[in-house]
Structure 1
């Protein structure tokens, strides 16, 4: 990445905080700014996180088709991401994305009321 690590870390942290609070669009926006400057595997992982946040936006609006497609894309990009990616619990997010996608496929999750991250995501202890 080409910007200062401090500002990137701040954006990543703000994106994660927004995601935890259900502000999926805000998470998308914060991570997109970092993604634009990233390359390689890091860029791919960030794109997966952005797609996951966008899926949350669609789910809030009851748009299960677009949400399912974005979840599929996010899962594909996040499957090789380290458990803890730049301070983001990517492994936990991937597990939630897979569970949510399965529920959507089975028709067992009411999209309008879904919280992508309930129960809360684990907080970093270190």
Structure 2
């Protein structure tokens, strides 16, 4: 099944965008196991960003910083968009939060990242 047609993908997006970080991680991880590159690498980046937010919720800023950086790095080859998603927006919002963490500021002062649909499904 095409990832874009998989109802689990839509559910994972909903979970991510609602800030249900742990559940989003689980949903993306299930899909990630079934993918090959480049989608596999991209989904890994998204789930790492979700797990970074789980770490933030638990007060583990070091773990959040590491996973946010790794997730951002895995997004880069797919920028600006793939899978019908505006990855540049995700990259930017995540980078702002990473910068806050690296400078010992509260990342929650900035809006959380979202997975926004785009009409340009490059790389899907």
Query: What is the TM-score of this pair, normalised by structure 2?
Result: 0.82
Partner of 2:97: 100
Q: Is the 8 A contact 2:85 2:115 kept in 1?
A: no
- Residue 76 of structure 2 is matched in structure 1 by 79
The answer for the alignment partner of 1:51 in structure 2 is: 48
- The one-character-per-residue Cα deviations of 1:76-105 (angstroms, maximum 9, x if unpaired) are 101111333213332211111111110111
CA RMSD of aligned residues (A): 2.4
Q: In the alignment, what sits opposite 2:112?
A: 116
The CA deviation at 1:72 is 1.1
Does the 8 A contact of 2:93 with 2:111 survive in 1? no
Unmatched segments (≥5 aa) in structure 2? none
Which residue in 2 is equivalent to 1:37?
A: 34
Q: What's 1:10 paired with? A: 7
Q: TM-score, normalised by structure 1?
A: 0.81
